[in-house]
Amino acid sequence: MLSKLSFAKIALFGLYDRMTSAPKTAEISVIRELHNLWNIGNLKRIPQIYSSKFIAHMPKGWAQSEFRGHEGVKEAILRIRNAFPDWHEQIEDIVVDQGKVVTRYVSTGTHKGRFIGVEPTGRTVKVDEISIYHLDSGLVVEQWCLTDDLSLAQQLGLLSR
């Protein structure tokens, strides 16, 4: 039989879970919208998702390993969507903890435009990625992104398998 104290603990922890799940749900929604933005390329949505002080940290091997602000996001989206017009990011996992959101996702697209110095190949690529996002006031202020660059280079014909 449960004591009054046990009922109080259950009620308290249940209330705590409900109180802390709302911010997590909001953060997840923002990150889902971010991935959708990259999928459809609606640049008008950038200020609704990204802070004007946003900074992205990309793999060091990329031509541009950081980009900043709304203009930086716009340039990055245009660069990827010009090279891969059907670019799509499918979220596989999403985790919220300690004020950050982490997504593991698979990006796909058909290489139809110049990308990292490579002329269009017509090949479809599939790239595993992980990003860690920091949000403040409902907007993404920072992102750390890791991509499977070796696999991407192989798929574009830059390296043999």
pLDDT in tens, 17-58: 444 455 588 999 999 999 999 999 999 999 999 999 999 998
The answer to whether 84 touches 115, Cβ cutoff 8 Å, is: yes
Which residue did the predictor score with more confidence, 88 or 23? 88
Cα 39 to chain centroid, rounded: 11
Which residues, including other chains, have CB under 8 Å from residue 30's CB and lie 6 or more apart?
49, 101, 135, 138, 139, 140
Whether residue 100 has pLDDT greater than 70: yes
pLDDT tens string 110-154 = 999 999 889 999 999 999 999 999 999 999 999 999 999 999 999
pLDDT classification of 96: cutoffs 50, 70, 90:
very high
Q: Which of 76, 127, 74, 133 is nearest to 105 (CA)?
A: 127
Structurally, at CATH architecture level, domain 25-155 sits in Roll (3.10)
Cβ–Cβ under 8 Å, residues 76 and 56: yes
The reported pLDDT for the residue numbered 61 is: 67
What is the average pLDDT across 99-115?
96
Return the C-alpha torsion angle 113, 115, 118, 121, nearest 10. -40
Greatest C-alpha distance within the chain: 72
